[in-house]
Structure 1
Amino acid sequence: MRRNLITAAITLALCGITLQASAQSAAELSRKAAPPAVRATTQLPRNVVPSHYAIEVTPHADKLAFDGKVTIDIDVLEPTSTIVLQAVNLTFAKSALTGKSGKPLTPKVTLDPQAQTASFTFDAPLPAGRYALAIDYVGMINTQANGLFAIDYDSEDGKKRALFTQFEAPDARRFVPSWDEPNLKATFDLTVNAPSADMVVSNMPATATRDLGNGQKQVRFATSPKMSTYLLFLAVGEFERATDMVDGTEVGVVTPKGKVAQAAGALEASRLVLKDYNDYFGVKYPLPKLDNVAAPGSSQFFSAMENWGAILSFEYILLVDPKISTIGNVQGIFSVAAHEIAHQWFGNLVTMSWWDDLWLNEGFATWMAARATEKFHPEWNTRLDAVGGREGAMSRDAVATTHPVVQKVETVEQLGQAFDAITYQKGGAVIRMLENYVGEDAWREGVRAYMQKHAYGNTVSADLWSAVQQAAGKPILDIARDFTNQPGIPLITVDSATCNAGTTTLQLSQGEFTKDRPGKTPLHWRVPVVAQAAGGARVDTVVEGGKGSLQVPGCGAVVVNAGQAGYYRTLYGDAQFAAIGKDFAKLDAIDQLGIMNDTWALGMAGLRPASDYLDLAKGVSIDADPAIWDDIAGTLGSINGYLAGNDAAQKRFQAYARGVLHPVFAKIGWNGKADDSAPVQLLRTTLIGTLAGLGDEAIVAEARRRFAANDDASMPPALRSLITGIVANKADAATWDTLHAMARAEKTPMIKNQLYNLLGIAEDQALGQRALDLALTAEPGATNSAGMIGAVAGQHPDMAFDFAVAHRAQVEKLVDASSQARYYPGIGGGSSDRAMIGKLRAFADAHIPASARNATETAIANIEYRLQVKQQRMPAIEAWLKKQGS
């Protein structure tokens, strides 16, 4: 969904996120499931493989360092004199290799920081066989979420420091020298020496704890199942834990002391979802426990991580704070829990063979979370969110810098960029389309077969398609390959719609939708198409070879992509579009939403009049589904942003847009009602934020009044963050100082982090500069400062980018390693100044590896598209407004 700048700035600031996505048989495809050939830039030789790690670590949190010992059981598959592991920022004290003879061999150790490897070389080749490689080493505790990292936070008892790990992707090599690749699975024993008063959490339950004296204890954990290194986990700190039992599994939440009650929603979500997934996958969750661990702070790279048996989530996505949490937060907690628990099967139990198929983890978990949320909370009406997720993917997929769902990953830097809207949202949308094509029961049967066959192993996409095709008895391999092995978005054009004897015959053709290549020769897809006349039955076909036809029962308005399960855009002719507009109110809400999003995108790309969306919106009833009005508000806010710099036109448009939204807002008002549905509650916040962004002085004044009153009636939890955000956005120097003082005094980390990020969204450029300067101090917190710079970029992208580049040495210490290649493009990518294109390219040439510049090129493509819309589409919007008398 699109959002106006204020709503987007507030939402993203609260999360610390930068504003800125020929046929083969089953047998032939299945043969590709073997581990891929070694890629010299990142992968290790395959002549030695691990089977078990026994790790002992002693963190020294005060020194930001740790001591490590590991004994790795390995199999030497062919004679070699060198064993190569992955390692980053580790210092080796001693090492020894023991074989059948029991006589230790001492290797020479050579480090290659560029390749992120440690080589252990012996005087003579090692015969094939089993060995144990023992290594003593020292590592760093980082201040960003890579490897073993520390987070400092405030509590009622003063400053605290907790330790956590984040190993995806791929950062286990910062914690233990290892074969840090997904298809080199092993079992793990972990032993941790830690302060006696601290709780220690890992993937498995603790099996023994003994006192070491001097305020230290040793905790041993049970042996893990066979898993990839990136799923190993450790947390050490002053925590508390609440638990429940589900199908014999202990489900828990772990939080900093005093906050476990705030994780009740996450615990309930885990309980419901785990039981449901045990049934859905047909394979019971295999570990004895499943924790969800809450960490203060934030990351530029992730909000939660699916470590097997010990999910890590940042507090803002896991805890409900009674002072500030909204229904949106509650929904987010459930959705993220459902996503991460889906990974316990899709990713952890069965893992992609290499990062090319990362989407098998993320796309499936995205789809599964949507399914679970809709099942357990139908009152939230989240089925409509599928359209928004698809739009997020299509926005990224419509520019030249897109990539296939199954993508080539050659380097560590490329891997950091692979976690994007194509992997998550397009992956989830393609799964939704294919499930709709084969049917829910057949899809689930195929998934169950896939799980049972590949448990504790590694796969490629073809393994999933083969299992589903066999279960469904319906060909999907070609369709699946078309949508995952090539980039882009099909465009289904309705060439004609002829009604005869109560049946409409559609003639369809397939092209390609792009935002920036109007003359592009289209790729070809086999596209499952579903159509429906208003009130009639749905019918389907597969458009192959660029052409297709469909006979639809009924006459009048016919919706192509009925139910919106398809991953394609639909282009109607004038007569068909007019018929849809006439019967728009009769359509299902999800089809209304899908048509509106297609209409907007096609208008901005010049394939339909840019004003089509506004014509549709004019006919929407005030009583329409809240999601429809949410979309309208977002689009009006987007147009307002495009008109920035054209003061006269923007003022005319703002007056028109306020007139459209005021009647809807008057109906729901500022104050919530006991019977407000979740969609109404969400719409209230959208309308308030949008109207503020549209220059509604009464809304801004009321926000200021409520902020000044600061009582429960004026600042209910559902509106507190939004009201504070509007005040921060419109702040003068005195108000900014007040907010700054509030941030310094706040003791609750989640609220404190929000306040610091909101300091970055002021419209006033001088205040934006103050926020940038503050971000480089220790005050906001090491994991929050990068998000604060990103918040400034939401309002002042050019200033924030120039500042970040000028202070690059300081800023890069604030950004996790996995985000380095995309952080600066994210800061500058919101600019509408053509000069930023040159700045981004110059920065990339100087500081970003050539293999990792996709984020830069995407930011540039989006700036060029934004300028194109301003120059080529907004005049039509202005002309339309004049016709309306605005």
Structure 2
Amino acid sequence: MRKTLVSAIAFALAGLSTLAGAADAQQAPTQLPRTVRPSHYDVSVVPHADKLAFDGKVAISIDVLEPTATITLNAIDMTFANVKLAPAKGKGAFGAPKVSIDAENQTATFTFDKPLPAGAYRLSMDYTGKIGTQANGLFAIDYDTKASGKKRALYTQFENSDARRFIPSWDEPNYKATFTLDATVPSQDMAVSNMPAASKKDVGNGLVKWTFNQSPKMSTYLVFFGAGEFDRITTKSEGVEIGVITQKGLTSQAQFTLDSGSAVLKEYNDYFGVPYPLPKLDNIASPGQSQFFAAMENWGAIYTFEYALLLDPSISTQADKQEVFNTAAHEMAHQWFGDLVTMRWWDDLWLNEGFASWLASRTTERLHPEWHTNLDAVDTREGAMSRDAIATTHPVVQHVETVEQASQAFDAITYAKGESVIRMLEAYVGPDAWRKGVQAYIKAHAYGNTVSDDLWKEIEAAAGKPVTQIAHDFTLQPGIPLVKVESVSCANGSTTLTLSQGEFTRDRPDKKPLAWHVPVIAKTVGGAAASTLLDGKGTLTVAGCGPVIVNAGQTGYYRTLYAPAQTKQLQAAFAKLEPIDQLGVMGDTWAEGMVGLQPTSDVLDLIKAAPLDATPQLWDEIATDLSSLDAYYEGDAKRQAAFRKYAISRLSPKLDQIGWEAKQGEEAPVAILRSHLIGTLGFLGDAKVVAEARDRYTKNTMPPELRKVILGVVATNADSATWDKLHEQAKAEKTPLVKDRLYGMLSAARDEALAKRALDLSLTDEPGATNSAALIRGVSRLHPELAFDFAVAHKDQVDKFVDSTSTARYYPAIATSALDLKMIDKVQAFATKYIAEGSRRDAETTVANIRYRVMVRDQRLPAVDAWLKKNG
């Protein structure tokens, strides 16, 4: 296990924040001594892919800031030879240093006979390293091809702290430097890095040396190297060469990404007011998968798994197309927000991820309005709030001390809450002022590092109104404001609302609420919006009389609690609400009903009130809510059957309306809804849908848009013979993107005996090194206890399927869907035995979620039963 990396010399400095004194505020946290800084790396590598090892040489230009006899940098799993230090200018050299390795702290220290005077030096060394089989450091992906058998390609993944597996380096975001890289690879391979190749030279023995141009100043985690039998397609946009690199023969599946990259680059150059600064921008498609990420924003060389980059005509869907665009837009946003300007330390990771998520969503809406993705904002907010409502939540700006803690920071708070808070603040100051502030921030900090307050300073200056207090409230403290509508009164054609503030929580009903300055927008149905900044209590007057929507437009990050009479008015007027407000009201009603702030059955009243012709996204939400309720009935067959009868009766008419076949000219959300309804009804055991899916599977009459969902329905309801057939298809498939999906289907079976077979399969070499962890996670959705017990019993083998910084997240997640309090003891016992004390947040979150699920089952389902009896 990785434990704390903080060296004794730096531990006291690691927690510094902008709340410290002015001088200290400029000091970046570090887990290395502050006596030496790098400015440039010359890196030379020779991978030996067959041996899963590589040889390296590095010469690092360093500045010794004060006399020291030691130089400490980050390194993992390396051996060193020929370590030399020489002045940057002039002659002379120091004696070979003593090399000591600290495996726990992931450092190598070079100790010299006498202190080095302050000045500029070149530190050079030869070293060896390991090539892994999971996505961290330099790693290998093995994959099938239709034409030429199995192949192996090499890629790197360094975020958050794995550049130290490839280069002995100061592997922290604040230690920016420039890089040159050369790599000697087999002649049939293409090598790829952040910058264009400067030269290719045949060096004999079937090898070619690729030398790349010098990079801009950047953080180590953004360095990229890849090599394999690749193809590349390119286009030009804004003077930049845009490329997509795939395994041989698949560039036709990359055209949409290439075209999207060209359009997004133009959009971002305009939005940021700073042109993309590199000469090229590649997106590298890789077979395989990770349990924890889909893509990585390496500057000029974005790494993306094929399923999130390519569109395979045999299996890809409209939802896949939208996800491909959004992923590319997210990673390209990082080229400015993360790469050009980088957070100072992992505490401010959200400056990278929240902003990139927000800008990707904005850009998807702008460039593809026909997809109606503006409505996805509510789903993003709900994802954040489901994490933010429990005791184990954390602030958006969070304290990080260790590599494991940094890995755990990549969660719904960082991404989805970060995105939602930005959306709220942009709505508060106005999009023009927000953009002006962002442009000033980028220009002021280009090639540097920042903290969140650097952004708020520029936004506030551009907006001419206070923003920092609101931003601090929502980023420096955890949790969700609860805006209560205490009273509503209408007079002279206007409605006055009396509002008060509390805190929404799932698991602490007696918690003393925190306080926020909350931007509130409200309106009557069909009326004009009005706004206020709520601090504790306040009033707001809106035009018109009638039902009132608080958080109109759903830009606010808070929950709204209405009095029962107001709730009934909204139910009656539900069909007249704007689609985004229908989704927002549904989300609040669900969440508040589950914790007992209002009747649990209120969400069923809204589902009943939803018209058949409502927006597809509302029906998506209805299907999600009904399948979520169904999950709480697991283990109680009689009550579950009664609930399923109602759920099927509500969803079937919508599927009948849109049909199984796509219609000419139908909108994108309809195609996505069709798949969702088929999948949900198949999961609920709807005999009609299951029979149709089986028939289409048997006859192989599955349109590409429905292939995955039909296979999913068949796999969930599979018997042994069907599972065997699916297994044979997975083994025979030669396209990695499709093969991975087929193996995933084997984990979906409701039958416990088949689930056990999927678990046993995961320990073999057959599924592929990056699929086994996903198989176990797949089984856990319907069989959490079975999957968790299996994973723990085979931990030594399962550890090989998960990247080493993420085991503290992976194992607890397997238990998340449990409905048995006994699982809590198992998760806690695992955490105590295997997870460092400061890195147990994911385990504690799983425990909190199990308690919440059991509470809902025991305390809320009786109200659902009563509603069904009355309305069923």
Same fold per superposition (TM over 0.5)? yes
Q: Distance in 2 between matches of 1:477 and 1:587?
A: 33
SS, match of residue 565 in structure 1: coil
2:312 is equivalent to residue 321 of structure 1: yes
Q: Distance in 2 between matches of 1:311 and 1:326?
A: 23
Question: Which amino acid counterpart does residue 78 of structure 1 have in structure 2?
Answer: E
Q: Distance in 2 between matches of 1:219 and 1:640?
A: 56
Q: Distance in 2 between matches of 1:777 and 1:663?
A: 44
Q: Distance in 1 between matches of 2:22 and 2:70?
A: 33
Q: Distance in 1 between matches of 2:698 and 2:482?
A: 51
Residue of structure 1 equivalent to 2:60: 72
Q: Distance in 1 between matches of 2:443 and 2:44?
A: 33
2:811 is equivalent to residue 824 of structure 1: yes
Residue of structure 2 equivalent to 1:641: 631
Q: Distance in 2 between matches of 1:777 and 1:883?
A: 52
Question: Which amino acid counterpart does residue 176 of structure 1 have in structure 2?
Answer: I
Residue of structure 1 equivalent to 2:50: 62
Identity %: 61
Question: Which amino acid counterpart does residue 120 of structure 1 have in structure 2?
Answer: F
Residue of structure 2 equivalent to 1:523: 514
Runs of 5+ in structure 1 lacking a partner?
1-25
Q: Distance in 1 between matches of 2:771 and 2:83?
A: 38
Per-residue deviation at 1:30?
8.2
Residue of structure 1 equivalent to 2:12: none
SS, match of residue 466 in structure 2: coil
* Map 1:842-853 → 2, pairs under 5 A: 842-853=829-840
Per-residue deviation at 1:818?
2.6
Residue of structure 2 equivalent to 1:119: 109
Question: Which amino acid counterpart does residue 860 of structure 1 have in structure 2?
Answer: V
Question: Which amino acid counterpart does residue 794 of structure 1 have in structure 2?
Answer: R
* Map 1:361-372 → 2, pairs under 5 A: 361-372=352-363
* Contact 1:30/1:462 (8 A) holds in 2: no
Tell me the C-alpha RMSD between the 2 structures. 1.1
2:537 is equivalent to residue 552 of structure 1: no
User: More displaced, 146-155 or 790-799?
Assistant: 790-799
SS, match of residue 795 in structure 1: coil
Q: Distance in 2 between matches of 1:841 and 1:312?
A: 35
Q: Distance in 1 between matches of 2:842 and 2:358?
A: 24
Residue of structure 2 equivalent to 1:561: 551
* Map 1:439-588 → 2, pairs under 5 A: 439-544=430-535, 546-588=536-578
SS, match of residue 92 in structure 1: strand
Q: Distance in 2 between matches of 1:593 and 1:640?
A: 20
* Map 1:638-677 → 2, pairs under 5 A: 638-677=628-667
Residue of structure 2 equivalent to 1:17: none
SS, match of residue 399 in structure 2: coil
Q: Aligned in 2, Cα 1:31/1:678: closer, same or farther, shift over 3 Å?
A: farther
Q: Could you give the per-residue CA deviations for residues 627-668 of structure 1, whole angstroms, max 9, x where no partner exists?
A: 111101110111111112222221111111111112111100
Per-residue deviation at 1:29?
9.8
Residue of structure 2 equivalent to 1:15: none
Residue of structure 1 equivalent to 2:27: 35
Q: Distance in 1 between matches of 2:759 and 2:526?
A: 55
Q: Distance in 1 between matches of 2:560 and 2:24?
A: 34
Question: Which amino acid counterpart does residue 707 of structure 2 have in structure 1?
Answer: R
User: More displaced, 636-645 or 301-310?
Assistant: 636-645
Question: Which amino acid counterpart does residue 389 of structure 1 have in structure 2?
Answer: T
Q: Could you give the per-residue CA deviations for residues 532-591 of structure 1, whole angstroms, max 9, x where no partner exists?
A: 1111111100001x1111001111011000000000000000111111112212211000
Residue of structure 1 equivalent to 2:173: 182
Q: Could you give the per-residue CA deviations for residues 413-436 of structure 1, whole angstroms, max 9, x where no partner exists?
A: 101100000000000000000000
Q: Aligned in 2, Cα 1:323/1:649: closer, same or farther, shift over 3 Å?
A: same
Q: Distance in 1 between matches of 2:292 and 2:27?
A: 27
Per-residue deviation at 1:163?
0.1
Per-residue deviation at 1:31?
6.9
Residue of structure 2 equivalent to 1:373: 364
User: More displaced, 182-191 or 664-673?
Assistant: 664-673
Task: State which of 681, 685, 697 in structure 1 corresponds to 2:687.
Answer: 697
Question: Which amino acid counterpart does residue 124 of structure 2 have in structure 1?
Answer: A
* Map 1:595-610 → 2, pairs under 5 A: 595-610=585-600
SS, match of residue 176 in structure 1: coil
Q: Distance in 1 between matches of 2:90 and 2:651?
A: 80
Q: Distance in 1 between matches of 2:19 and 2:620?
A: 47
2:756 is equivalent to residue 769 of structure 1: yes
Task: State which of 784, 799, 806 in structure 2 corresponds to 1:797.
Answer: 784
Q: Distance in 2 between matches of 1:756 and 1:102?
A: 61
Residue of structure 2 equivalent to 1:147: 137
Q: Which has the higher contact order (CA 8 A, sep 6+)?
A: 1
Q: Distance in 2 between matches of 1:199 and 1:459?
A: 36
2:41 is equivalent to residue 53 of structure 1: yes
Question: Which amino acid counterpart does residue 832 of structure 2 have in structure 1?
Answer: D
SS, match of residue 210 in structure 1: strand
2:97 is equivalent to residue 110 of structure 1: no
* Contact 2:522/2:550 (8 A) holds in 1: yes
SS, match of residue 805 in structure 2: helix
Q: Distance in 1 between matches of 2:786 and 2:81?
A: 46
Q: Distance in 2 between matches of 1:325 and 1:307?
A: 26
Q: Distance in 1 between matches of 2:389 and 2:21?
A: 28
* Contact 2:683/2:716 (8 A) holds in 1: no
Q: Distance in 2 between matches of 1:695 and 1:150?
A: 41
Residue of structure 2 equivalent to 1:312: 303
* Contact 2:19/2:25 (8 A) holds in 1: no
Residue of structure 1 equivalent to 2:668: 678
* Contact 1:86/1:173 (8 A) holds in 2: yes
* Map 1:249-260 → 2, pairs under 5 A: 249-260=240-251
Task: State which of 351, 367, 380 in structure 2 corresponds to 1:360.
Answer: 351
* Contact 2:29/2:345 (8 A) holds in 1: no
Residue of structure 1 equivalent to 2:392: 401
Q: Could you give the per-residue CA deviations for residues 138-177 of structure 1, whole angstroms, max 9, x where no partner exists?
A: 0000000010000000002100000000000110000010
Per-residue deviation at 1:102?
2.6
* Contact 1:33/1:463 (8 A) holds in 2: no
SS, match of residue 781 in structure 2: helix
Q: Could you give the per-residue CA deviations for residues 299-319 of structure 1, whole angstroms, max 9, x where no partner exists?
A: 112110000000000000000
User: More displaced, 680-689 or 448-457?
Assistant: 680-689
* Map 1:806-821 → 2, pairs under 5 A: 806-821=793-808
Residue of structure 1 equivalent to 2:736: 749
Runs of 5+ in structure 2 lacking a partner?
1-17
Q: Aligned in 2, Cα 1:547/1:161: closer, same or farther, shift over 3 Å?
A: same
Question: Which amino acid counterpart does residue 533 of structure 2 have in structure 1?
Answer: V
Question: Which amino acid counterpart does residue 237 of structure 1 have in structure 2?
Answer: G
Q: Aligned in 2, Cα 1:859/1:654: closer, same or farther, shift over 3 Å?
A: same
Q: Distance in 2 between matches of 1:261 and 1:90?
A: 40
* Contact 2:648/2:686 (8 A) holds in 1: yes
* Contact 2:74/2:106 (8 A) holds in 1: yes
2:760 is equivalent to residue 760 of structure 1: no
Per-residue deviation at 1:104?
2.6
Residue of structure 1 equivalent to 2:76: 88
* Contact 2:523/2:552 (8 A) holds in 1: yes
SS, match of residue 345 in structure 1: coil
Question: Which amino acid counterpart does residue 699 of structure 2 have in structure 1?
Answer: A
